[in-house]
Structures are given as structure tokens and as C-alpha cells.
Structure 1
Amino acid sequence: MLSRISRARALLLCALPVLALIAAAAFAPLPYTIALPGSTADVLGVDKGRQVITVTGAPVRKTTGQLRMTTIVATAPGADIDLGDVARAWFRSDQAVLPHDSVYPAGKPDREIEKRNLGQMRMSQESAVAAALGHLGKRDGDIRVTLHLADIGGPSAGLLFSLGIVDKLVGDGEGGDLTGGKVVAGTGTITPDGTVGAVGGVALKTQAAARDGATVFLVPKAECDDALATRPAGMRLIPVTTLKDAVASLKALGDGGRVPSC
């Protein structure tokens, strides 16, 4: 009997440091960030009392429907993410676990990160204007396009900005409303020549779009699999690689034509 008690006590003493390590690991900060569906904004509408897209020097059409750019929101750079947070997020479809450095560059202060994101947004807007005017065969010098969207950074609204400009401007062979009165959402970077690039976070952005009433989502083609993995019920996913693709698909959708799907 004494032997059994001694053995049990010895096992308990050995187990205590292990349990302590497990408990410490459970509450120790980990190098991850938790991302969730963020806000969306209609680029055809008004943001903080100002039109998102303002055009001077060319006639514009009255638009219906919405073109909603989408975002994700991540935990703050200095937030302590522990094992419990990661475990909970891992098994939820409305959250994603991302390496901290993939969202916030290592060693960069919050102010510098914000400045970088706003710089990316400005470059994205310039590229969006160039792509839209190029698509319509219009010259930048004759038309002035101003874009305004407060409190949002990064380059991922480029495609939606371009579509909004195309939708508002009256161009040769470009008559009609791109949305057909629908709530259309999407994401994707844009280059001045109209090439659409991947952005990340698509699975969360489709959920944000569905929450805000969208039934159609434009997806950079390379991210179709991610979008399909958690596609909201009733959401139509349309793959795009260029601005021309996106415009053609939206027109076909409105005309009852053939539209590609993820």
C-alpha cells in the first residue's frame, strides 16, 4: 500500500510542472491576429456626408442598385491572443486566424501601419481612376474624378472604385446600369491597365456582403476556392481577372446572358 501511495505521489509531483506549462501556454500571448467580417460601403452612394465618387467634366448617369466594397477587421496590433482565442476562432466560419506579421509588419508602430494602409488606398484610387477611364476610352486630363472613403485603408477596394466610375460615366457602348438594381459586392486590387489582383480575406468579406444585403459577389479568380468554402446561402460568386471581365459579367447578369461562376 505504501508503495502505491508513493508511486501516485511521485506521478503527481511529475505532472504538476507539465500542467503548469500547459496552463501557461493557454494564457501566453501568441503571434496571431483574429480577423472578422468588417464594414462594407456603397461606392455609388454617400460616405460621411460626401459622395464617394464625384465626376466633373463629363456627363454622368443616375445609377440604381449598389456596388459595395468589403473589408475585414482584425484585432489590434498589441492585442494579446492566447491559445483559447485561437482555438475558438479556428472552429468558427465567421473568424479567421492569421499570422500577426501578415497583417501588421513586425516592429512597426500603429501610426506607421495606419499611414501605410492609407497610402495603399490612395494608390488604389489613382489606379482605379486610370483603369476606368482607360476602359471607357476617356482621357484623364478632360475628366476629373474624386474618390472619398473615410477610415478605410489598403488596396482592396480598387476593383469596386473602377466599376463605380464606369457605372456613373456615360461612355460609348456603355449605356445602362451595371447593377441592374441589385446589391453587388466584391473585392480586388486594380492596376491602371485594369488587371484585378487577389487580396485575401475573401471568405470573411462574402459574409460581410451577405449581412449588408448583397446577392452577387465579384471575386478575384485566384480566390474562388476560398470564397466557395464559406459561401453564404443565396450568394452568387462571379470570378474576375480584369475590369473588362467584371463589366461584361455584370451586363450579362442584367441581360440574362451567360455569367461565369466560381
Structure 2
Amino acid sequence: MFSRLSRRKAVAVCALPAVALIATALFAPLPFSVAQPGLTANVLGANQGAAVITISGAPTRTTSGQLRMTTIEATGPDARVSLGDVIDGWFRTDRAVLPRDSVYPSGNSVKQIEQHNTEQMKQSQDAATRAALKYLDLGGKDVKVTLKLADVGGPSAGLLFTLGIIDKLHGDGHGGDLTGGRTVAGTGTIDDAGRVGAVGGVALKTQAARRDGATVFLVPKAECSDAKAELPQGLRLVPVTTLNGAVDALTALENGKGSVPSC
């Protein structure tokens, strides 16, 4: 029979391996990335001193309001994410824990990932230009569009780039702005045919949008439920599936005519 003192010693000694295992689990790197609301940028304005959208070969118009593309910021592909980080992320509404492979292609170096994101951004910008000029029936004209947005990669700004080009060239078609003077934010890929695609991270992007003054958020319709999960107060969701639908919804908001879809 152990004495009381002996039992205490036995418990303490037996507990040491368990404590070591817990400590190892808490601080060992895990295959996750922790994301948070990132920067937003007004595509109708300037970024780092340079205009985001520059157009030549066609008259442009002065715009009011803002069209803000949104981002998320995630821990880097070589960052150490521990169990403690994961647990903390699960219990915070301004954080999201994502499989690292869903954020960064598995097995790629940091340089390869940056190159991949840059290529995706370039493809998105090219598709946005083609979609906008097609919408405006300027596809065969000698119109040159240059898009510059520093320190951002990926394809998710496609929809906002397209709307920005249309607003600078055409507005709402009646002398007004697509934004109606509002700060409108959003996310979504775009293809040449004007189809809007899902992007992920919308619950964090809505927080970034509201933080930076947006009152309307254009969201790919397939991601309505995700966007509603942590929707900030004062931000109106407008689901879209096509460029035409996005323009129609903004025009209806601007002039008060027609229906505006909601999630």
C-alpha cells in the first residue's frame, strides 16, 4: 500500500508524459492555415499611388462612390500553425482555420505559390477586361485597359475589376454611377462570358468590407450561406451569378427601380 505522499509522487511522475504529449500537440506544426480579414482596395481609385484602372482609346467618366475588392490574409505556407492557434481560430469570429492545401497548392515552394497567385491575378484581370468590353459592345474597338493592384494575388477580384471598368466607361447608362455614390464591396471570379464564380473566405471578406465602410456586398450566390454566417451589422448582401445580374442589381439599388436580390 502506498502512503499518501507516495501516491502523490506516483501521480506526479505518471503525469509527466501526458503533460509532455499535450505540450507537443499544442506547439507542433499542423497542416492548417489561419486566415483573417485582409485589405480592401477601391478599384475606382488608386493603389500605392497608381490608378488601379487605366483606360485609353475610349472616353472615361468621373466616378463617385467606391467599388472595393476584398481579400483575406492567411498564415504563410511555411508558417508554423500549432494546435493552440487552431483552437483559438475556431473560437473567434474574425479568424478561420483552413486546410493549408486549400489555401496553398500542396508541395509548392513559397516562390512557386507567389508565381501561381500572380498568374491567377493576371488571368483574372484579362478575363475582367474581356467581359467588360463585351458587355459594353466594345470588344472589337481599340480600347486598352490596364489593371494594377500591388501585393494581391489570386482570381477573386475579377467581378469588381469588371464592374470598375464598366463604371469608368459607361456608369449606369443614364449618367449615374453604378455605385449610386455608395461604398460597394464584393468578391467573385469572372470569365469571358460574364459568369461569376465562388471564391471562398466570404465570411472574413464581409468583415473587411464593413470595416472599410461598405454598406453593400456582392457575393457569388453559391456562397450566400457562408456570407450570412458572420454578417456584420449594416452590410447588405446581394447575391450574383452573372455580370448582367450584378449590374442590374446595382442599377436597381441606385435608382430604386426593379428588384434587388437578397440571400
What's 1:258 paired with?
A: 259
Residue in structure 2 matched with residue 157 of structure 1 by the alignment: 157
TM-score w.r.t. the length of structure 1 is 0.95
More displaced 10-residue stretch of structure 1: 13-22 or 69-78: 13-22
Cα 1:140–1:129 shift into 2, 3 Å: farther
Deviations 1:129-154 (A, max 9, x none): 11111111112442111111111110
1:14-71 Cα deviation digits (max 9, x unpaired): 3322222112111111111110111010000111222111111112121110000000
Q: Does the CA contact (< 8 Å) of 1:130 and 1:140 recur in 2?
A: no
After TM superposition, where is structure 1 displaced by more than 6 Å over at least 4 residues in a row? none
AA of the residue aligned to 1:57: G
Indicate the SS of the match to 2:203. Answer: helix
Residues 24-103 of structure 1: matches in 2 within 5 Å?
A: 24-103=24-103
Paired with 2:173 and 2:182, the residues of 1 have a C-alpha distance of 21
User: AA paired with 1:212?
Assistant: D
What is the identity, as a one-letter code, of the residue corresponding to 1:89? G
Identical aligned pairs, as a percentage?
65
Are the equivalent residues in 2 in contact too, given 1:59–1:170 (CA < 8 A)? no
Partner of 1:106: 106
- Residue 123 of structure 2 corresponds to 123
Q: How does 1:125-140 map to 2 (within 5 A)?
A: 125-140=125-140
SS in 2 for 1:2: coil
Counterpart-to-counterpart distance in 2, 1:173 and 1:85: 49
Partner of 1:179: 179
Structure 2 distance, partners of 1:83, 1:172, is: 50
2:172 and 2:36 mapped to 1: Cα distance? 41
Q: 2:187 and 2:44 mapped to 1: Cα distance? A: 15
Paired with 2:199 and 2:99, the residues of 1 have a C-alpha distance of 15
Q: Which amino acid aligns with 1:260?
A: P
Q: Which runs of 5+ in 2 are unaligned?
A: none
Alpha-carbon spacing, 1:174–1:55, altered in 2? closer, same or farther (3 Å):
farther
CA distance in 1, matches of 2:67, 2:140: 23
Counterpart for residue 208 of structure 1: 208
RMSD: 1.7
Aligned to 1:145: 145
Whole-Å Cα distance in 2 between the matches of residues 62 and 171 of structure 1?
9
Which residue in 2 is equivalent to 1:18?
Answer: 18
Deviation of 1:89 after TM superposition, in Å, equals 1.2
Instruction: Answer yes or no: is the 8 Å Cα contact 1:27–1:83 preserved in 2.
Output: yes
Q: In the alignment, residue 82 of structure 1 is paired with which amino acid?
A: S
Report the residue type matching 1:261 in the other structure: S
1:180-212 alpha-carbon deviations (Å, 9 max, x no partner): 000000000000000000000100001111111
Displacement after TM superposition at 1:12 (Å)? 4.0
State the distance in 2 between where 1:219 and 1:173 align.
23
Displacement after TM superposition at 1:2 (Å) = 3.4
Q: Aligned to 1:184, what secondary structure does the other structure show?
A: strand
Q: Which has the higher mean CA deviation after the structures are superposed, 82-91 or 179-188? A: 82-91
Distance 2:249 2:89 in 1: 35
CA contact (8 A) 1:221 1:239 kept: yes
For 2:13 and 2:172, locate their aligned partners in 1 and report how far apart those are by CA, in whole Å.
82
SS for the counterpart of 2:26 is helix
SS of the aligned residue for 2:34 comes to strand
User: Which is further off, 112-121 or 99-108?
Assistant: 99-108
C-alpha distance after superposition, 1:101-150 (max 9, x if no partner): 11122221111111110000000000001111111111244211111111
2:188 corresponds to 1:188: yes
Structure 1 gap ranges (5+): none
